[in-house]
Amino acid sequence: MDSIVHFREATEKDIPLIQNLISEIWPKAYSHILSDEQSGFMLDMMYSDTSLNKQISSGHRFILTFVNDSPTGFASYEIKDGGLCKLHKIYVLPQIQGAGVGRKLIGHIITRVKPLGMERLELNVNRYNTARLFYEKMGFFVAGEEDIDIGNGYFMNDYIMRKTIV
């Protein structure tokens, strides 16, 4: 039997689910890139109850993904001016990476934002994160680099990646 992938927009009530997912996904994604101290700082900065509530209330749309009714990941995006959709987060459980769920999640977001006049999808990815290869397979290209001071002496050293929405 084939797996059924579906999506649902998250609300404030889903914050514990998002936090549970990121607690499983983050270590695999970043343990080889970030120190434990920086990981802890960033998790608190981006995934505390207060931070997630603020993101949702300020217009970040969170999409949860499910495979056969089991939560498997999430993404968040924001509609910007000039036809730009900023993809802030996209995470899928390590055990299902490579199964097409991330590709379907990006496709789902595109089907939501294209009718709103969005022409470009843009994201940041750590320069040492192998997820860059996934994004390139999805049609993204490196449009630039930036080093973002996130406080406490830490920086996010990122590529800016862009994809034209067709």
pLDDT, one tens digit per residue, over 95-113 is 999 999 999 999 999 999 9
What separation in angstroms does the CA of 86 have from each of 54, 97, 101, 164? 17, 22, 19, 12
What pLDDT, on the 0 to 100 scale, is given for residue 1? 46
Prediction pTM value: 0.94
SS3 state at 151: strand
Using CA of residue 153, residue 57, residue 114, residue 84, what is the dihedral sign?
Answer: negative
What pLDDT, on the 0 to 100 scale, is given for residue 3? 82
State whether CATH 3.40.50.2020 applies to domain 5-164. Answer: no
Give the C-alpha separation, 44 to 27, whole Å: 14
H helices present in the chain, as ranges: 15-30, 36-47, 49-57, 101-113, 131-137
Task: Tell me which residue of 96, 57, 74, 61 sits closest to 7, measured CA to CA.
Answer: 74
Amino acid letter, 165: I
pLDDT, one tens digit per residue, over 118-147 is 999 999 999 999 999 999 999 999 999 999
What pLDDT, on the 0 to 100 scale, is given for residue 166? 86
> Quick count: other Cβ atoms within 10 Å of Cβ 92?
26
Angle, alpha carbons 116-159-125 (nearest 5°): 70
Q: Is 63 left (phi over 0), alpha (psi -120 to 50) or beta?
A: beta
